[in-house]
Structure 1
Amino acid sequence: MNRRDMIRNGLTLGAGLAAAPQRLLAAPVDLSFPADFAWGCATASYQIEGAVTADGRGATNWDVFSHTPGRVANSDTGDVACDSYHRYAEDIALLKALGVKSYRMSIAWSRIFPEGRGKPNAKGIDYYNRVIDALLAAGIQPYVTMFHWDLPQALPGGWQNRNTALAFADYAGFMAGKLSDRVHDFMTVNELRCFTDIGHQEGRHAPGLKLPPAQVNQVRHHGVLAHGLAVQSIRAHAKAGTKVGIADNTTFYVPVIETPEHIAAAKKATRENNAMFLTAIMEGRYIDEYLAQEGANAPKVQAGDMAAIGSPLDFVALNIYAPEWVRADAGPKGYATIPHIASSPRMASPWLVVGPEVAYWGVRMVSELWKPKVLYISENGASADDPVNDGRIDDADRVMYLRNYVGQFHRAVADGYPLKGYFLWSLMDNFEWADGYTKRFGIHYVDFATQKRTPKLSAAWYKEVIRRNALV
């Protein structure tokens, strides 16, 4: 038997022809996704729109914050950003070229109610009608987030004031009534932990406060209350069949070794360390461990609050980036987190530790803890340095990141968890909050001096994923 025949018959040359037979090729692995899987991209209003004084838009907390010296890298602001307010048709063309059928976008609350409440601004409503109609004309279904951090500055006390939650519910219900004839899926708020904790405890985001624990917990409560009241308001004003969920950056705990004791530790850590956010929403209560931990600093809850916060959801959307590693522990908690160290692999943003397993375990933990009907990945992506060489941006590091994470999402789908769609963050480079324009997350390069958009290597990769409906 010659070498070619041996290979055809699954044999390999080893220590002579008497070597034991060995299969060279395993059966092909099915890397496809379900036929109805929703591939999309995500953006946010303040990060891309610019035009901050156009057509009656009111000022936001991020307008104030970004114009405060020392708050944002290079004193960058969102005043122009990607100028998508004027260039949305061009951006929809980018989406269409990718082949996506879904797009996650957010509405700027202050374009609709410049003062946060009161008389609606017709020009703001008209703008989002134009965007949504253009998306639908391109065969792209919008998934609309009602709040992605840009809070109307005129609201007294911001998120420290309970009335902001009520104002948000009014705005969300109003806009759902305007859009639900064409938009079928709404997300209430984006990333509770960011606009509460980072903005009011750490001070790194708007409004830039460092409040004491009791006040931070009250801000958190107003955030989840705003979500819950908005769910009720959207359902009251939207057309029948409209679906409502949340986009949350749950802190995801990954078992450091896939054994029963470490998996149990990760599940316990996920539930307890998200007690003030997704756990409260999915269980309709603050769990005993959280209340005991906070003691006198626990939030003040009024009658009916927890019923609203626990309003049933049609779907849960997850923003998944970096893992927290956890192991079983003999201590009172039953688990211990393993800190990230200097050698932990990262993308261009220091916080973005690379751990693709978080994609699988994030979906699995949320599914097993709370059994949502449907899950989406509302954000997943990576910052990279993106050097331009002869007009090309060969961001192979971002492709590596995305390929590995999408592979883990595929594992979750294959295991039967109800993951129905994926929105890559982001369609294009944009204003990256306190990092300004120093960090690029887009799969399209934006030259902010000229506003020219250029597809990166990652855009070509994602286009092929969508074309095949399979991991590439």
Structure 2
Amino acid sequence: MTGINRRQLGMGLGAAALGSALGGRLDAAQVGAQAGGAAAPQAGLAFPEGFLWGCATAAYQIEGAVREDGRGQTNWDVFSHTPGKTSDGGTGDVACDSYHRYAEDIALLKALGVKAYRFSIAWSRIFPDGRGKPNQKGLDYYNRLIDGLLAAGIEPHVTLFHWDLPTGLAGGWQSRDTSYAFADYAGYMAGKITDRVKHLMTVNELRCFTDLSYMTGGKAPGLKLPMGEVNQVRHHGVLAHGLGVQAIRASAKPGTQVGLADNATIFVPVIETQEHIAATMKAMREENAMFLTAIMEGRYLDSYLAAQGKDAPKVKDGDMKAIGSALDFVSLNVYTPNYVRAADNAAGYEILPHLPQSPRMASPWLYVGPEALYWSVRTVNDLWKPKALYISENGCSADDPVAADGKVYDADRIMYLRNYLTHLQRAARENYPIKGYFLWSLMDNFEWEDGYTKLFGIHHVDFKTGKRTPKLSADWYRELVRTNRLV
């Protein structure tokens, strides 16, 4: 077969190109059959039966109602009200007003046909000061949301912490005590909702609420600490996750699945050859040493500790055992890749810089690299063999002007999603344990320090009236979900 094997038939080559490579002997239908799929021309574009399609949001970005029903103040309330910290002074005070309009959001999900919704719980709605007496009105809100989702046939996937830290916790993530407070909160919530919620994520994006909040200062609370203190904040973050896993397991109903949603730094080989793939695996493990590697291996790499020297985190007995608590799944937030080549240096790899002309979306940091979805799944699987993997976030910002007819024709977002999902489909086709995908985001919302200047939603939100309108990308995603294949 001119050097093309059966595995290659299922990868990388379109029907026409493959037919040409084989001397024109196969038509598209035969290609599908040879690749082990159905004979239909579109068979190679399908996802596995039962693949879980969903959308994702986060509490502070959509809920609003920051002073209602006993909700306590958070770091993001303070940060967003500090002049100069967010674009145009945007805050989450109202955002999408989902606290009052959650039924409309459930209707959006149902219209898309998705079977899952990833949302976060605002810690300060449950414990206004981060600990102490629980607030029943806050719990009632999430019970209404969960029950409404289930009534609509939509599975709730719940994140317990998505950056909105109660200010009542003195010292924030600089304090080890915050890790224990999180565990108490996680255990309490597990006892209250796992009769209906079967997938819990402890924390979202460790790097963001540690490094970007306490080292570079772009996110709440906006500090720039010395490296020794940053490493301790990192340690308190992963410790909170580990203690949270233990607390959930102690309180949850049988059948509860526990994981986390992490924005691990993703690496892609510049060329898919053995040496560059090996370099990519090294980079994935080493560059995530303080977060996902520590969680999956229950230890800090010697190379990380040596590099930090006197600034290495202070670790107490039992910490790493908790941090390495077994998980039922790993969820990954994937947006942009870093390209790696094999190098003759101590690390064995070199991370190539993004170039000024590298393609990117509206957010300056959002470089386009569709291969990131495939390689995120492959590297995490090959390094650590999790039981299951999900993409808990993937999507893009766009300028999204509203046309004269009131519609947003975001073909650029469709381009981004189609290309990225092509690479996720490759991971599924190669039998990596990828179980589902959550598009970020269900609707335009408060985009942290970017305020309302960067839009990620597949539904347009008029922030004056709260009206939600499907964009062209929502129509595209609905068809993808309906057919369970790339469209």
TM-score band by shorter chain is over 0.9
Deviation sequence 1:256-278 (CA, Å, 0-9, x none)? 01000000001000000000000
The amino acid across from 1:469 in the alignment is: N
- Displacement of 1:22 in angstroms is 3.7
Residue 424 of structure 1 corresponds to 439
Could you say what secondary structure the match of 2:66 adopts?
A: coil
Residue 267 of structure 2 corresponds to 253
Deviation sequence 1:52-91 (CA, Å, 0-9, x none)? 0000000000000000000000001000000000000000
Structure 1 residues not aligned, in runs of 5+? 1-9, 11-19
2:279 maps to 1:262 = no
Runs of 4+ in 1 over 6 A off after TM superposition: none
The equivalences for 1:44-443 within 5 A come to 44-389=58-403, 390-443=405-458
The amino acid across from 1:407 in the alignment is: T
Aligned partners of 1:446, 1:274: CA distance in 2, in Å?
36
Could you say what secondary structure the match of 2:117 adopts?
A: strand
Aligned partners of 2:441, 2:237: CA distance in 1, in Å?
25
- Displacement of 1:344 in angstroms is 0.3
2:472 maps to 1:457 = yes
Deviation sequence 1:271-327 (CA, Å, 0-9, x none)? 000000000000000011101110110000000000000000000000000000110
Q: TM-score, normalised by structure 2?
A: 0.92
The amino acid across from 1:86 in the alignment is: H
The amino acid across from 2:456 in the alignment is: F
Aligned partners of 1:87, 1:189: CA distance in 2, in Å?
25
- Displacement of 1:24 in angstroms is 8.1
The amino acid across from 1:107 in the alignment is: I
Deviation sequence 1:161-202 (CA, Å, 0-9, x none)? 000000000001101100000000000000000000000000
Could you say what secondary structure the match of 1:55 adopts?
A: coil
Aligned partners of 2:344, 2:120: CA distance in 1, in Å?
44
Deviation sequence 1:318-345 (CA, Å, 0-9, x none)? 0000000110001111100110011000
The amino acid across from 2:443 in the alignment is: M
Residue 447 of structure 1 corresponds to 462
Deviation sequence 1:1-55 (CA, Å, 0-9, x none)? xxxxxxxxx9xxxxxxxxx984584333521112211100000000000000000
Aligned partners of 1:329, 1:21: CA distance in 2, in Å?
38
Could you say what secondary structure the match of 1:393 adopts?
A: coil
Could you say what secondary structure the match of 2:346 adopts?
A: coil
Residue 38 of structure 2 corresponds to none
Structure 2 residues not aligned, in runs of 5+? 1-15, 17-21, 32-40
Aligned partners of 1:462, 1:48: CA distance in 2, in Å?
21
The amino acid across from 1:431 in the alignment is: F
The amino acid across from 1:253 in the alignment is: F
Aligned partners of 2:148, 2:286: CA distance in 1, in Å?
43
The amino acid across from 1:471 in the alignment is: L
- How many residues are treated as equivalent by the alignment? 454
Deviation sequence 1:194-252 (CA, Å, 0-9, x none)? 00000000000000000000000000000000000000000100101111000000001
Query: Rg: which structure is higher?
Result: 1
Residue 40 of structure 1 corresponds to 54
User: Percent sequence identity over matched residues?
Assistant: 71
Aligned partners of 1:235, 1:339: CA distance in 2, in Å?
42
Q: TM-score, normalised by structure 1?
A: 0.95
Instruction: State the Cα RMSD in Å.
Output: 1.1
- Displacement of 1:112 in angstroms is 0.2
Aligned partners of 2:421, 2:62: CA distance in 1, in Å?
25
- Displacement of 1:108 in angstroms is 0.1
